[in-house]
Amino acid sequence: MANTNAQLAAVFAQMAAVAEILGQDRFRTIALQRASRVIADLPDDLATIGPDTKALAAIDGIGKGTAERIAEFLNTGRVNDHDELLSQIPDGLPALLDIPGLGPKTIALLWNNAGIESLDDLRAKLEGEQLAKLPGMGKKKIENLRKSIAFAEAAADRVSIGRALPMALWFLGQLRAHKSVIDAAYAGSLRRGRETIGDIDLLVSADTAKPGAAESISDLFVSLEPVEDVLVKGATKTSIRTSDHLQADLRIVPPESYGAALMYFTGSKDHNVSLRQRAIAMGCSLNEYSLSRDGKPIAGKTEQDVYKALDLPWIPPELREDRGEIRLAESDKLSKLIEHTDIRAELHAHTTASDGKWSIRDYALTCADLGYHTVAVTDHSQSQPIANGLSPERLEKHIEAVRAVAKDLADTITVLAGSEVDILADGSLDYPNSLLKQLDVVVASPHHALGQDPKKATQRLIKAIRNPYVTILGHPTGRLITRREGLSPDMKQIIVAAADRGIALEINANHWRLDLRDTHARAAIEAGVKLAINTDAHGPADLGEIIYGTLTARRAGATANDVVNCMTKAALAKWIESSRQ
Ligand code: DGT
Ligand code: CA
Ligand code: CA
Ligand code: ZN
């Protein structure tokens, strides 16, 4: 299974949190947190290395103790120390760690001083006055906690696309290996590229008339290792839940219905309803088996066939939300959407100078290998001490280091000196203009005070946009999908300010962020504002997140022309220059 690393990273993170709740030695907590981060960032799957303590301890950043626990996990699926820690706190307490803004210290306080042992306890006590009297709690914090719980509950039954897509691809790989499977695909919200996914919809084409064929495919499906519960198992539909709480539906259809079924199960429901009405108006009927006239199927093998029979061009799944795409398709006005292979530049990434895991040079060379012509080095600014943000003095040295690499690699790739400058709570930037002036690219992003009220947040971001040296507004809301709501500025005003200044708004491609979100990106494009799609990479593996950014951009209807990262080298240089005032 491809997510052993993620599972182990979560185990270590939870050990760190529980140790902190228990008030254990701070160094133990820090070591466990570090182990969690190292494991999460490993390029190779630990399961492929196997439970060999020596080989594990040879990995950079993994000590003997961590190696032993990893081996234990690979052997038994559990870590003894983890169970031991959990046994010392009430069963309901770890769930509190999932509430955004609620950390181990506060949880310890709530447990020790207010007897809170579960989310239900917390919810009940939040109704009363008592919690506000605890040291460090206060009215404002209580109010934020209430909001966080509501947000976490609303998000609870959906997962990030970054979790669902790798799992879906893994399932498809297994299913395609079955001899009766002719074709297989994922459908549903995942295929439409939504930022969160309710469940994974898988579709298989097989000779369903052949006795036992469909049954043998569903037998294989339910026997796969990640499957924990089988919810439904029938002739054509099987539903399962994985051990990490993802739900997946598998449907098996004959080849002549594969296109119609793919269309139907890709949705969205509203898009389907509109298409069905169109079919009826044409004297036909449309369902998951086929498009039919007088009860006789006329199309169904491929999606293209069905759309064509409906007198429409094929509509990309990301647009199938019934937001006017059918009208555009009718008049042949669908534009060619951006593809991740159109990306030619990365303009937001971190190196070892702040909290990244690679050198300036490795970053640039990895991007050159991907065919990029330009990269910007944008390490954190001074107000981000946790991320090892650069003081003005360190930034000046860092600029020199970037310039040296740039000179060295001039024939290979253009390396620009930049910074991810923190937007402070009042909208001022974390470096003086005299320093920003020396940079080629300034990505200005909010990182803290993300609970600010919308009006303040709007003023804050507009003030940052108006700084004459800003090139890109980075992850504008600071949200973390299913974890943190982030700022809720008036996006219309932000877009007007960005258009006015000629800067780009970022779609941060990291699957936890996808910030700007699809609808805001669409509004930006309509206002003529350029988008930047950046991965915010901290190491080589992160560059792959670009797919989530381009999916979001496609949902916004973006073409390559809307995105600065798709410009030619010369055009990008010119645009960056023109974005300065
Ligand atoms: P999700 O799973 O909540 O992220 O969103 P979807 O869109 O994947 O929804 P899901 O899994 O319930 O169903 C997959 C697709 O199947 C959906 O996008 C459209 C189609 N579908 C499901 N139920 C209906 C229905 O009652 N009517 C129509 N027209 N289509 C449906
Ligand atoms: Ca679904
Ligand atoms: Ca479903
Ligand atoms: Zn960043």
Quick check: CB of 195 below 6 Å from ligand 1? no
Asked whether the domain spanning 340-579 has the same topology as the one spanning 159-253, the reply is no
Identify each DSSP E strand in 357-478 by its residue range: 374-380, 414-422, 441-445, 472-473
| Domain edges within the chain | 4-155, 159-253, 265-330, 340-579
Helix axes of 161-176 and 546-555: crossing angle, nearest 10 degrees: 100
Spans in the chain with pLDDT lower than 50: 1-2
Decide yes or no: CATH 2.40.50.430 for domain 340-579: no
* pLDDT, position 150: 79
Quick check: CB of 193 below 6 Å from ligand 1? no
pLDDT in tens, 301-350: 999 999 999 999 999 999 999 999 999 999 999 999 999 999 999 999 99
| CATH code of the domain occupying 159-253 | 3.30.460.10
* pLDDT, position 256: 98
User: What does the alpha-carbon distance between residue 376 and residue 572 come to, in Å, rounded to a whole number?
Assistant: 12
What is the 3-state secondary structure of 152-186? HHHHCCCEEHHHHHHHHHHHHHHHHCCCCEEEEEE
User: What does the alpha-carbon distance between residue 497 and residue 581 come to, in Å, rounded to a whole number?
Assistant: 13
* Closest ligand 1 atom, residue 271 Cα: 29
Amino acid at 459: Q
> How far does the centroid of ligand 3 lie from the alpha carbon of residue 265, in Å?
8
Query: What are residue 200's phi and psi, to 5 degrees?
Result: -90, 130
> How far does the centroid of ligand 2 lie from the alpha carbon of residue 169, in Å?
15
Under 8 Å between Cβ of 265 and 252: no
User: What does the alpha-carbon distance between residue 247 and residue 26 come to, in Å, rounded to a whole number?
Assistant: 38
Stated as kind and residue range, the H or E segment containing 17 is helix 4-21
* pLDDT, position 1: 39
* Closest ligand 1 atom, residue 272 Cα: 29
Name the CATH topology of 4-155: DNA polymerase; domain 1 (1.10.150)
* Closest ligand 1 atom, residue 158 Cα: 4
**Report field, pTM of the whole predicted structure over 0.75:** yes
Amino acid at 424: L
> How far does the centroid of ligand 3 lie from the alpha carbon of residue 511, in Å?
21
Mutate to test the pocket of ligand 1, among 189, 191, 203, 318 (most ligand atoms within 8 A of CB): 189
| 269 alpha carbon, closest ligand | 1
Question: Going by CA atoms, what residue is nearest to atom 23 of ligand 1?
Answer: 269
Quick check: CB of 263 below 6 Å from ligand 1? no
* Closest ligand 1 atom, residue 188 Cα: 8
Under 8 Å between Cβ of 111 and 21: yes
Name the CATH topology of 265-330: Beta Polymerase; domain 3 (3.30.210)
* pLDDT, position 2: 45
User: What does the alpha-carbon distance between residue 270 and residue 274 come to, in Å, rounded to a whole number?
Assistant: 6
| 195 alpha carbon, closest ligand | 1
